[in-house]
Structure 1
Amino acid sequence: MAAAALSLPATTAHALSAAPDGPPSSHANERAEAARDRTSQRDEGSEADTTAPLPPRITLAAPYTSCVTVCQAAGGPGVRATFTFAPNTADKDIVGYRYHVIGEATWSSVTGETATVTHVPQQGGLYRLEVQAFDQVGRAGAAAEVEFLVATGETPLGRWRFDEASGPARDSATAEGTTRNDATLSGGATRDDRGRRGVQTHDEYEALPEPVTDRGLTLDGSGGYAATSAPVLDTRSSFTLSAWVRPDTLGATDRTVLAQDGGFRLSYDATRGTWTFRPSLPAGADHLTLAADRQATPGVWTHLAAVYDASADRTRLYVNGRLRATGTAPGVGAADGQLQFGRALLDGSPGEYGDFFDGSLDEVAVWRRPLTDSEIADEAQIPNGGRNAVELVADWSADGASGTALTDTVSGYGPRLTLSGGAALDGSTLTLDGANGAAAADGPLVDGTGSFTVSTDVTLDGSAVASWPKGRVGHVLGWRAADGSTFGLWYEAGGMTPAWDPDALEEKLVPVGSWRFGRLDADGTYVASSSADPVRTDEPVRLTGVRDAQAGTIELYVGGNPNGTRRPVPDPVGSGVFTVGAATDGTAWTNHVPARIKDVRVWSGAVASSQQLSEVLGA
């Protein structure tokens, strides 16, 4: 069917560069009068035009239509929108256009008196395209804009949350006309209270009567799995897979996350040491395997997604919402086996090992279409009414504690924090002497390529840092990244400044400095979100660092509220130990901090706001 087109006349376009005062109707009248004056000027052969171009005309092609009197949803995520730009009827010297989708920072440009451009929406919803025309002398004119409504993409063909008390894992997908594909648990497959959505307090924007602890699927690595009774996906057409995984071990054995006999396999590849995706291929074809460009990490929650786009003959592999590998996949064939969770089959048999998964799976979903980058990023956040899903993976409290170690008895994961040097538990805090006191737990606790939140209640020893030279660093918590940098929270001395002491009734020199959250390199350079307010010593303060992997940013909260500028930061990839009170360069301790720490908590997932942070802290 030929594509229909709907033109948005310049008289109905918004002139965004018009003066902000006065009613909209007056701006429209002024523009119309300007157009008549310009047309008259040119028709009469007067001097060259000295005014900027008027709003251009925009034509929007099917399947989308302009929102003029009504908005009709059409297309969907990944379905491109096509626009044609043409000069306002009063303009005769247009040579190009500048345009962008409102809400996106990047502008694009195109040359020609008329021009056709495209934009691929990443999600459903209302979009607005803004356009300015340029004349021969390079003047940009008033902008026109067109609105269009993108339909929500087709819902999942299947979704399994593993939050049932017993029985099969129910397929909770709501796609109309689809068959429910419940999955039966077998072998060493069980459920526990370590689901990736964590403790839920809201259903969208409605508060739940009581908090609900999410559940997930736990597999033993030797015979546990779940499976549907029939094929779920037709692998000859486009599809998307999505799953949260937390492997207990990764080593010399391959581990399957999702597979369909005779078809695709999403798994850990022991030879490569990373996550891989192999789509279905016809007999005799070489096996295409996509391998992520980051090493997999055991003991942490990681989001995986794989896409086969039949129309483009392309495959894509995502880790924590970020594209990590892509390739061609011509001629993908049929796979008629059951959907397997945590094992792979070959001709109906698991073979000698079956590549059984060892650890936890949760929030598995499949679609019969290729999801966009933005949609996959959402799956990696699990948004819920202005909140993101966060799962508490470590919770150490010094209240009532003694001895040489702190064991987490709250989160369900049980990491142990072992003290060393001049670190001690005094019944209420973990005290650190700033000389050789520190504590460490095996592993990084969270995936450095993903989103996470870390929080601590810390009191900095003012007398100890008073002698610190400007630039000296004291590490509060974090872990060592693979490139030698340290990612976490730290204090940086800023020298001394005069301040009035109300008790002594005199002016004294006091230390000043900054809290920072980010990555600190061995040479002292860093990328960090830094506190805007002066650091107060000898007083407890709640410090929270939030890493949003999907946005690629970090943010520092002080006292429960954002206190530092949100900063872009590269992946803090690493698998080193989690440390408190000092950092490690791989062989020795460094950057000790003199402080008293009341608690340390770590979540997989990025809190979305101060309100959510208050909720998860129980404040």
Structure 2
Amino acid sequence: MTGRTGQGRARRVRRARRAAVAAVLAAGTVLATPGTVLAAAGGLPPTQPRTADLATEYSACVSGGERPYVGSVPRLTARLYGPGGGQPGEESKVRGEFEAWWQGEGGVEERVTTTTSTLLDTAPFSWQLPDTIPDETVVSWRVRAVNDAGASAWSSEAPGAPCEFVYDRTHPDAPVVTSSDYPDDNTWTPGAGVRGTFRFAARAEDVVAFAYEFMGEPPHTADVRPDGSAEISFVPKKSGRQVLAVQAQDRAGNRGPRTSYTFLIGEGPAPVARWKLADATGARSAAAENGTAARAGAGVAFGAPAPSGTPLTSTASLDGSGHGFLTPGTPAVVDTAKDFAVGGWVRPARVDGTRTVLSQDAGTGRAFTLGLTQAGSAPAWSFAVGGARVTGGLPETGDWAYVLGQYDAGTGTARLYVNGRAVGEEAAAVPVAGEGAFQIGRARGALGYRDRWQGEIGDVRAYDRIVVPEELTALATRAARRAGHWALDTAPDGLAPETGGGAPVKLGAGASVYRLDHPCDVFDPDCVQDWPLEGDGHLRLDGVSGHAATDAPVVDTSGSFTVSARVRLTDDAPAGPMTAISQGGEHGDAFKVRFDPENSSWDLVLAHADEPGAPETVLRRIEWPDGDIGAGHRVTVVHDASRNQVSFYLDGVKYAEGGTADFDTAWRSTGGLQLGRARTADGWGEHLKGVVDSVYAYEGVLSESEIQRLP
């Protein structure tokens, strides 16, 4: 009897407890203490939050020495889960209870709490702490999940731990900036391309980084060393006034006021060694503008041709034999572990195998080599430093190129430039000491010199600094030479003269030069006259047979050239394509500029070969036809053979989208320059009905600003 009585009493106690809990829940109050979970009949409480699912703003939940410092009052975030622990298909709704505490004045603990609204446990829960959070104080916090069945354990209970942070709203003082290479003392210091070192010193103990930015450059950060300072290097890209702005950043991410450091950059120093190789025919050494004269082997002949459009008057030709070399007998690059660059104008007579333009001895090997090599089945320009090699570009027999190799000690990379443009992928390089002699036309190997150059070399330079972009462009620039200008103002005996006395364009049937010799009164309502586009007249073409042409090619279409003309269409709805200007061969046009009414566009069309039905490259510019009104449009074709690119300008503008295309199938045209017609499958066709004026032709590439200055 006693056992049954005890069992009944226990059942009555359990029923009473369940009733009490139900009453509490019905009243909307959850009673729980840390480590205690209240459960109601028919439900389970949420699971304990994991510290891995908690964050102080964007910092993970940590405590002790790893606690984050924050520069603003943070938002606390958590992932909370119901009884199913966040498993798919077991989602439920919970509330989040957050609590934060710290030691206040006099060691008294202070706490703040909040309870979120009820959300699905798949949602993030957060609490923006109040602004009353103290600074320079360790703040701890925790969270738990609550549902109608009870509350989870706090996240701070085992196996968890409290999260901690320190709110730091004090910004560090401005740092001290110094540089012995580029002092802030209003004096000009050489210069562009010369690496300088700058030192930042903190004025507070909690500074962890410096944010800095040179004018015109992207921002960077530098980590603080144990002594509270940092050092960075900088290579000025141009001469002039430069400003460096630096801010100290503390561990909370606060950045203090800027220190502005101003310095003056002079022109980049001259090459440490230079040989123009424009010495007199029969000379046995090459004079040096800087450095030591270079002894020439018997396989070197001075007086060879120079690249047109450059200041060079002649170059040296190397025959590829064991005697085809030049050397000063001393190094040109004194320290190959620091910044350096070497380059020159070259024209290969052969592009097979490996051929060296410039190198410097390093024992029985070489510190660096610049030249060409075989990349797969094709030749490529090459620059090697230590065991690293950069290749790119396409050397072609008989074509001039400006080739420059550069080692950047700041990034530890080798780079290669061809005709002023970076080619290939820069390569991480570990330089080797190269205290041996500088070589032109050969490279040192274990068994002697090898990889000999065959062809021309001119204007060799060696630098102990970085060659900056403007210099690269200037070194590789070949000025365009005007091959013809036809004003088309007059045509005595059917010949429109070239303004420099060159070959005229001959007018065919249906072509005439219009001159406004006797203008009528513009205020007279009966005055209806054409007006010259440029100068005193222009060429009128009837759209049937009208054309004008030179007897021979004006530009070499296989090389670099620029051709431009001003054109106005007579009709506002042309019946078919009409070509304004072209130059080609027997079956097709190396280039032509035409108006295509189907697309209402001006098109540059280039055939890939002088063959019927050859593939074409087309660059298109949408434009309405003129209808014989206004000044028409200036159309300009530019072929850059050094880059294997073609560009099309309309009224001096080359759009980024569709204004330039790669083109490596250029061919030498044999026909004359044509105004008003093009080659078609049926012979001459696409006759222009309109006017053409002010035609220019250049050997070489005009710059965009030069094109915009054409009338």
Q: How many angstroms apart in 1 are the aligned matches of 2:282 and 2:180?
A: 44
Deviation at 1:243, TM superposition (A): 1.3
What pairs up with 1:225-304 in 2 under 5 angstroms?
225-233=324-332, 237-238=336-337, 239-247=340-348, 250=351, 252-260=352-360, 262-263=365-366, 264-272=368-376, 273-277=378-382, 279=384, 288=387, 290-304=389-403
Aligned to 1:381: 474
Aligned AA for 2:471? D
2:474 aligns to what SS in structure 1?
coil
2:471 aligns to what SS in structure 1?
helix
Contact 2:176 2:259 in 1 (8 A): no
Deviation at 1:120, TM superposition (A): 1.8
Aligned AA for 1:303? Y
- Please state if 1:71 is matched with 2:71: no
Report the CA distance shift for 1:395/1:540 in structure 2 as closer, same or farther (over 3 A). Answer: farther
Q: How many angstroms apart in 2 are the aligned matches of 1:303 and 1:456?
A: 27
Report the CA distance shift for 1:588/1:290 in structure 2 as closer, same or farther (over 3 A). Answer: farther
Q: How many angstroms apart in 2 are the aligned matches of 1:547 and 1:240?
A: 25
What pairs up with 1:181-196 in 2 under 5 angstroms?
181-184=293-296, 186-187=298-299, 189-192=301-304, 194-195=306-307
Q: How many residues align?
A: 466
Structure 1 counterpart of 2:432, from 322, 325, 332: 332
Report the CA distance shift for 1:270/1:140 in structure 2 as closer, same or farther (over 3 A). Answer: closer
Q: How many angstroms apart in 2 are the aligned matches of 1:62 and 1:83?
A: 6
Contact 2:172 2:254 in 1 (8 A): no
Report the CA distance shift for 1:309/1:474 in structure 2 as closer, same or farther (over 3 A). Answer: same
Aligned AA for 2:564? T
Aligned AA for 1:184? A
Report the CA distance shift for 1:236/1:76 in structure 2 as closer, same or farther (over 3 A). Answer: same
Aligned to 1:5: none
Report the CA distance shift for 1:180/1:335 in structure 2 as closer, same or farther (over 3 A). Answer: closer
In our comparison, the structure showing a higher alpha carbon Rg is 2
Deviation at 1:488, TM superposition (A): 8.5
Aligned to 1:208: none
What pairs up with 1:392-471 in 2 under 5 angstroms?
392=481, 395=483, 444-446=558-560, 454-457=562-565, 459=567, 462-463=570-571, 466-467=573-574
1:219 aligns to what SS in structure 2?
strand
Aligned AA for 1:363? D
User: 1:95-123 CA deviation, whole Å, 9 max, x = no partner?
Assistant: 9997643344x4567999x9968462234
Q: How many angstroms apart in 2 are the aligned matches of 1:187 and 1:424?
A: 59
Identical positions, percent:
14
Contact 1:77 1:121 in 2 (8 A): yes
Q: TM-score, normalised by structure 2?
A: 0.47
Aligned AA for 2:400? W
Report the CA distance shift for 1:441/1:556 in structure 2 as closer, same or farther (over 3 A). Answer: closer
Q: How many angstroms apart in 2 are the aligned matches of 1:565 and 1:574?
A: 16
2:395 aligns to what SS in structure 1?
coil
Aligned to 2:18: none
Aligned to 2:529: none
Deviation at 1:241, TM superposition (A): 1.0
Aligned to 2:653: 564
Aligned to 2:698: 601
Report the CA distance shift for 1:296/1:425 in structure 2 as closer, same or farther (over 3 A). Answer: farther
User: 1:243-299 CA deviation, whole Å, 9 max, x = no partner?
Assistant: 12233554x444432244642332222454343445475xxxxxx352424333444
User: 1:155-189 CA deviation, whole Å, 9 max, x = no partner?
Assistant: 31211223445454644434xxxx42245374363
Report the CA distance shift for 1:225/1:126 in structure 2 as closer, same or farther (over 3 A). Answer: farther
What pairs up with 1:298-313 in 2 under 5 angstroms?
298-308=397-407
Aligned to 1:121: 235
What pairs up with 1:186-225 in 2 under 5 angstroms?
186-187=298-299, 189-192=301-304, 194-195=306-307, 197-198=309-310, 214-217=312-315, 219=317, 222-223=320-321, 225=324
2:414 aligns to what SS in structure 1?
strand
User: 1:31-87 CA deviation, whole Å, 9 max, x = no partner?
Assistant: xxxxxxxxxxxxxx9xxxxxxx9998353232256535x336378735254464989
Q: TM-score, normalised by structure 1?
A: 0.53
Report the CA distance shift for 1:133/1:249 in structure 2 as closer, same or farther (over 3 A). Answer: same
User: 1:305-340 CA deviation, whole Å, 9 max, x = no partner?
Assistant: 113456866433222333333334436244635522
What pairs up with 1:510-529 in 2 under 5 angstroms?
none
User: 1:522-545 CA deviation, whole Å, 9 max, x = no partner?
Assistant: 89776x8999x9997897958475
Deviation at 1:217, TM superposition (A): 1.6
User: 1:387-419 CA deviation, whole Å, 9 max, x = no partner?
Assistant: x65154x9478999xxxxxxxx999xxxxxxxx
Aligned to 2:214: 101
1:445 aligns to what SS in structure 2?
coil
What pairs up with 1:530-609 in 2 under 5 angstroms?
543=636, 545=638, 556=649, 558=651, 563-564=652-653, 567=656, 572-578=661-667, 594=688, 600-603=697-700, 607=703, 609=705
Contact 1:235 1:332 in 2 (8 A): no
What pairs up with 1:85-96 in 2 under 5 angstroms?
none
Aligned to 2:466: 371
1:147 aligns to what SS in structure 2?
strand
Contact 1:134 1:141 in 2 (8 A): yes
Report the CA distance shift for 1:548/1:277 in structure 2 as closer, same or farther (over 3 A). Answer: closer
Deviation at 1:126, TM superposition (A): 2.7
Report the CA distance shift for 1:540/1:228 in structure 2 as closer, same or farther (over 3 A). Answer: same
Report the CA distance shift for 1:493/1:217 in structure 2 as closer, same or farther (over 3 A). Answer: same
2:235 aligns to what SS in structure 1?
coil
CA RMSD in angstroms comes to 6.6
- Please state if 1:362 is matched with 2:450: no
1:145 aligns to what SS in structure 2?
strand
Aligned to 1:57: 174
Which 5+ residue runs of structure 1 have no aligned equivalent?
A: 1-44, 46-52, 201-213, 282-287, 401-408, 412-421, 447-452, 480-485, 497-511
1:67 aligns to what SS in structure 2?
coil
Aligned to 1:33: none
Q: How many angstroms apart in 2 are the aligned matches of 1:593 and 1:440?
A: 20
- Please state if 1:162 is matched with 2:277: yes
User: 1:458-497 CA deviation, whole Å, 9 max, x = no partner?
Assistant: 546645x84168xx89695799xxxxxx99995666899x
Deviation at 1:128, TM superposition (A): 1.4
